[in-house]
Amino acid sequence: MTTALATATKAATATDTSENLRLIRRAYEAFHARDVGALLATLDPEVEWVHPDGMAGYDLGGTKRGHAGVRAFLAHVPTVLGGMRLEPREFLADGDRVVVFGEREVTSARGRTARLSFVHSWTLRGGRAVRMEDIFDTVEFHRLIES
């Protein structure tokens, strides 16, 4: 009986992990397509959207809450940057967490482009992302913005 329960638990966990990976991949596809509605569909209405405090000087740091906070954040980004494209490279999933390693191609308002590494840590619950934390080198990002 214990073996059957363990097998069932592993199967359920594998299904949850696959669903979580699909959800996060859809979030990146929506971001790439600049489809804010599709992105928000992957996020819990009370999502925490977290960026390094070191970006606060550009109003890009700290925690934005809910769909309204994410919308406001995304609307503000073009006032600071000329463009950005995310390229997720590796997805690691365990339970309700998905961690993504990737690069972003960022263009400053003045037209300089650089490739910067990122780590995104996603927490999921009930089929939606409840937290996304963006981790990156803020010093390099500042240099690009100011160039």
**Cβ-contact 71, 77 below 8 angstroms:** no
Mean pLDDT over 21-32 rounds to: 96
**Which one is predicted more confidently, 3 or 122?**
122
Read off the amino acid at residue 33: A
Mean pLDDT of 112-138: 97
- Residue 16 has what pLDDT? 75
Q: Which two tokens stand for residue 70?
A: 């994410």
Count helices and strands in the chain by DSSP H and E runs: 4, 6
Res. 138: pLDDT tops 90: yes
Tell me the pLDDT tens digit for each residue of 74-104: 999 999 999 999 999 999 999 999 999 999 9
pLDDT of residue 5: 44
Mean per-residue pLDDT for 42-51? 98
Instruction: Give φ, ψ of 33 to 5 degrees.
Output: -80, 0
Q: How big, in percent rounded to 5, are the helix, strand and coil portions of the chain? A: 45, 40, 15
| Cα separation, 82 vs 111, whole angstroms | 7
Q: How confident is the model at residue 39 (pLDDT cuts 50, 70, 90)?
A: very high
Neighbours of 4 (CB within 10 A): 8
Range of lowest pLDDT (14-18, 87-91, 110-114): 14-18
Q: Which residues pair with 102 in a beta bridge?
A: 88, 118
